[in-house]
Amino acid sequence: MNRPLLSVLRGERRDPTPVWLMRQAGRYLPEYRALRAEKGGFLELVNDSAAAADVTLQPIRRFGFDGAILFSDILVIPHALGQKLEFLAGEGPRLSPALVDAALDGLQAAPERLGPVYGTVRRVAAELPPETTFLGFAGSPWTVATYMAAGEGSREQAEARRYAYRDPSAFGAIIAAIESATFDYLSKQIEAGVHAVQLFDSWAGSLSPAQYEQWVIAPTARLAAALKQRHPDTPIIGFPKGSGGKLPAYARETGVNAIGLDETVDPEWAHASLPAHIPVQGNLDPLALIAGGTALDQAADRILDAFRERPHIFNLGHGILPDTPIAHVEQLLQRVRSAG
């Protein structure tokens, strides 16, 4: 089967460069907004397998991206571990009880809460065009642990970092529980039909070097090794946002198959600094996509030029923003596909 994006994840250079966009199934699409309004909320949408499959496929139907990303959320894992999950309008997700105030072993695990996600995977796998790579995903242990500890997201993750310093044994138990649940979760996604998986470590950049080794690299390496042992043909993309100069160590030590780069990474530096064989994904600034015009073309060209000699998947450096014009997505796709 000719799936260009999957070929790149396995180390092949493909021209034109395959492309997908993080959060490509989301609020910038009118068809998504209509379906979400009908279902009544984000979590309701995630837990409706038919609707979540439709959302996953919406950007494929509209744009023909080379990859489809499962529509779900990284916080389904804490939900399955027993925390209450809510998405509050205008405030974002909330988990309770927050583990800075409650014991992990006081939670009642509910793995059945993940059942709708596997149903979504099966539905999408049955409908996806044969040339399109289907990407599953999960949050990396550190990022998920920050939400579980604090009960919500924060820019500096101060509560989770304090907890990790104050009681590394207790924090390590949270990481271990997330690792175990995530291994099962991604394994079942693969068994249900995804071709590759991405680990989102959205808050990796907040850690000191020693903590980065302990809470980002080590858990990711254990998880990647376990997944490769069970699913040796399924590539793993690691996306440690904000890692900067720590990226070469992440690439060498975690064992992931490809590295996602955020928009702050100089693509020329990344090409020179990362292991020569490893595919890279990224890393257009989402605001350049909103700007459009010449600024968008120049930003895209710089990335394409930097990675011309390396296996490369074109993507954003973070998720597509809700006010992104659809015409600018079309402009980007034309630019990337005409550069091959």
Per domain, the residue ranges of the chain are: 4-338
pLDDT reported for residue 340? 64
Who contacts 218 (Cβ-Cβ below 8 Å, separation ≥6)? Answer: none
The residues assigned a catalytic role are: 23, 27, 36, 73, 147
pTM: 0.97
How does pLDDT run along the chain (340 residues), one tens digit per residue?
699 999 999 999 999 999 999 999 999 999 999 999 999 889 999 999 999 999 999 999 999 999 999 999 999 999 999 999 998 777 789 999 999 988 899 999 999 999 999 999 999 999 999 999 999 999 999 999 999 999 998 778 999 999 999 999 999 999 999 999 999 999 999 999 999 999 999 999 999 999 999 999 999 999 999 999 999 999 999 999 999 999 999 999 999 999 999 999 999 999 999 999 999 999 999 999 999 999 999 999 999 999 999 999 999 999 999 999 999 999 999 999 998 6
Per-residue tokens: 224? 């990647």
Domain at 4-338: CATH code = 3.20.20.210
Nearest to 83 by CA among 92, 91, 93: 93
pLDDT reported for residue 90? 72
SS3 breakdown of the chain: % helix, strand, coil, rounded to 5?
Answer: 55, 15, 35
Who contacts 254 (Cβ-Cβ below 8 Å, separation ≥6)? Answer: 217, 220, 221, 224, 238
pLDDT reported for residue 88? 79
CA distances (Å), origin 116, targets 166, 234, 326: 37, 22, 29
Beta-bridge partner residues of 199? 138, 238
